[in-house]
Amino acid sequence: MALLEVTDLRVSFDTPQGVVHAVRGLSFGVGEGRTLGIVGESGAGKSAGVQALLGLLPGARTGGRALFAGRDLLTAGEKELRRVRGGRIGMVFQDPLAGLHPLYPVGRQIAEAVRAHDPGIGRRRARERAIELLALAGVPDPARRAAAYPHRLSGGLRQRALIAMALAPGPRLLIADEPTAALDATVRAQILDLLRRLRDERGMALIVISHDLGVVAGLADEVLVMYGGKAAERGGRHPLYRRPQHPYTRGLLASVPSAALFAGGGGARLRPIPGPPPDPRDPQPGCAFRPRCPHALARCGEDPPLVPVAGDPAHLAACWLVRGPEGDGP
């Protein structure tokens, strides 16, 4: 059994404008030492999906099951979730400034994260540990950087400081939500290298979320492509990039320069997919991608199930055009 096993996750928000259906029945998992990439356009439900697991969406309604080391996070109480967040699951967000307090030196904030997890550790030892963690996260001259305030650091160093903080309790799973969206291409590649190295050295499970298939290409063992709060396609990295089945995945791939796919992402967009994403306030029956799909059929008015692609039981796609194991596609 995988470290994290999410089954049929649903997340919705009650708003004055109506119910927002952010995640509509999503299943995925990740094992120790493995990386899952979650990809999709803005608004697909990527962040809501992982934040719901950690109890970070107080107003949300959730359904389904999310077993972490055998325990269901969706039924856990606030106290237990707080312990999980400061412990076995670490999280890194897009904007490192949002995760750092502007008025304290970064070393002190990391030392506090160390002490929160291990109250018995002395202040001096916690400070030393913070410097070790900064070094581990690839911050050069970590003793000097520990004394710096967040705004004195470059974007790349701030993201490294935030990763150091997430590593403080020795998490078994690290979730990085758009960890490189605010960084330029060179720094982005360095941060992705760092995540890969930390995963390998520490045997952590890693979930990397991005709107860019290029970002997860060099890192993920498995990729989940989300559209309109659901899985459009899921599979091993190589089968998914080499034989994409869902027209949405193909559209996303066509919008990433192929060089970027293997250099860790970024760069100019090629052909964006025309048309707007679906409105999560008003989910329509049938395939959510239908209005933008160049291959839509009458049958697409019915919800396509997520089915295995012929020849690869671990590669699944939700599209009527996919030839299933019984060869029942068109």
- Please identify, among the stretches 41-49, 112-120, 133-141, 264-272, the one whose residues bind Mg ion according to the rule CB under 5 A: 41-49
Closer CB to Mg ion, residue 35 or residue 47? 47
Interface positions with ligand ADP (CB under 6 A)? 13, 15, 20, 22, 40, 42-48, 59, 280
258 is in the binding site of which of Mg ion, ligand ADP, none (Cβ under 5 to 8 A by kind)?
A: none
Closer CB to ligand ADP, residue 42 or residue 120? 42
Q: Assess 47 for contact with Mg ion (CB under 5 A).
A: yes
For 308, the enclosing helix (H) or strand (E) is strand 307-309
Closer CB to ligand ADP, residue 170 or residue 276? 276
Smallest gap, in angstroms, from Cβ of residue 43 to ligand ADP?
4
Closer CB to ligand ADP, residue 138 or residue 229? 229
Q: Assess 62 for contact with Mg ion (CB under 5 A).
A: no
- Please identify, among the stretches 47-55, 118-126, 164-172, 276-284, the one whose residues bind Mg ion according to the rule CB under 5 A: 47-55
Closer CB to ligand ADP, residue 92 or residue 157? 92
Cα(129)–Cα(136) distance, rounded to whole angstroms?
10
122 is in the binding site of which of ligand ADP, Mg ion, none (Cβ under 5 to 8 A by kind)?
A: none
17 is in the binding site of which of Mg ion, ligand ADP, none (Cβ under 5 to 8 A by kind)?
A: none
Q: Which residues of 298-309 are buried (b: 16+ CB within 10 A; e: fewer)?
A: eebeeebebbbb
Closer CB to Mg ion, residue 47 or residue 159? 47
Q: In the chain, which residue ranges form alpha helices assigned H by DSSP?
A: 46-53, 78-85, 106-117, 123-136, 142-146, 155-167, 185-202, 213-217, 237-242, 247-254, 258-263
Smallest gap, in angstroms, from Cβ of residue 15 to ligand ADP?
5
Q: Assess 159 for contact with Mg ion (CB under 5 A).
A: no
Cα(240)–Cα(106) distance, rounded to whole angstroms?
39
15 is in the binding site of which of Mg ion, ligand ADP, none (Cβ under 5 to 8 A by kind)?
A: ligand ADP
DSSP letters, 116-176, are HH-TTS-HHHHHHHHHHHHHHTT-SSHHHHHTS-GGGS-HHHHHHHHHHHHHTT--SEEEE
45 is in the binding site of which of ligand ADP, Mg ion, none (Cβ under 5 to 8 A by kind)?
A: ligand ADP
The gap between the terminal CA atoms of the chain, to the nearest Å, is 35
Cβ 200 vs Cβ 173: under 8 Å: no
90 is in the binding site of which of ligand ADP, Mg ion, none (Cβ under 5 to 8 A by kind)?
A: none
Distances 94 to 81, 124, 159, 253, 308 between C-alpha atoms, Å: 22, 31, 8, 22, 33
Structure tokens, 197: 């190295």
Q: What does DSSP say about strands 222-227 and 35-39: parallel, antiparallel, or unpaired?
A: parallel
Cα(35)–Cα(18) distance, rounded to whole angstroms?
35
Closer CB to ligand ADP, residue 264 or residue 280? 280
Residues in contact with Mg ion by the rule CB under 5 A: 47
